[in-house]
Structure 1
């Protein structure tokens, strides 16, 4: 099924990017799965790429266990200056991200660029790949 409305596709992708940021900061680990393609690839600035929802969620569990992200960590991911390009049933986006501490001493912890690839599956957009790089 190819998109007939490029504006609706772009809006859906922008909302997917925002939903992922909210999931990272406030959602349950299992909330990641519906946002990801079965063969999704996740590349963080440090470490090996994770492939597939279970491997990606294992990385999330590890970061949450360490207290470096997720509910109760006192951090937030802010996404800005997003550029989206849609080509029928695939799309790419580039977004600046800012990782901040929200505690008593609010500050920028890291910042960088997300290079995202999306795929339309069963009429909805999902992440096929996210490459997170530091600036």
Structure 2
């Protein structure tokens, strides 16, 4: 185990922000680019592996993005070992499906346990694992 530098900590936080920005904007290439070539995402839909498959997953997920604003909170970076680290965070989704007319509200929250790797000088997700998902029935009926 090694200590994480302030620069690495900042870059990992930026990775989380780029990931959610890509989700909210439907940026398929930007989303895929937050992962290593063989990176994976495990969530309520199963496990998706590889940049092309991850971009397709986001494209398929698209309709539920409208009006959502995702964010990471309470991020903790641990188990740093050279060019890899473990990242724990909460996800919070604020929704206003009719902007300017609907009051923003919490649509869902979850927890992520991630493994990140420094590749070519950039931190990327090697593995993102979502658990503890809770959904607001207003936004996700049934």
Q: Shorter-chain TM-score category?
A: 0.7 to 0.9
TM-score (norm 2): 0.82
The question of whether the paired residues in 1 share the 8 Å contact of 2:75 and 2:88 is answered with: yes
TM-score (norm 1): 0.86
Q: Distance in 2 between matches of 1:17 and 1:107?
A: 21
Would you say 1:80 and 2:76 are equivalent positions? no
Q: CA deviation at 1:5?
A: 6.5
Determine which of 92, 99, 105 is the counterpart of 1:98: 92
Q: Distance in 1 between matches of 2:47 and 2:125?
A: 14
Matched residues, number: 127
Find runs of 4+ consecutive structure 1 residues off by over 4 angstroms: none
Matched residue SS, 1:116: strand
Q: What corresponds to 2:64 in structure 1?
A: 68
Any gaps of 5 or more consecutive residues in structure 1?
none
Q: Deviations over 1:59-110 (max 9, x none)?
A: 101011xx101xxx01111211100122210011111111121231422111
Q: What corresponds to 2:53 in structure 1?
A: 55
Which deviates the most, 86-95 or 99-108?
99-108
Q: CA RMSD in A?
A: 1.8
1:86-125 → structure 2 map (5 Å cutoff): 86-102=80-96, 103=98, 104-125=102-123
Q: What corresponds to 2:35 in structure 1?
A: 36
Any gaps of 5 or more consecutive residues in structure 2?
135-142
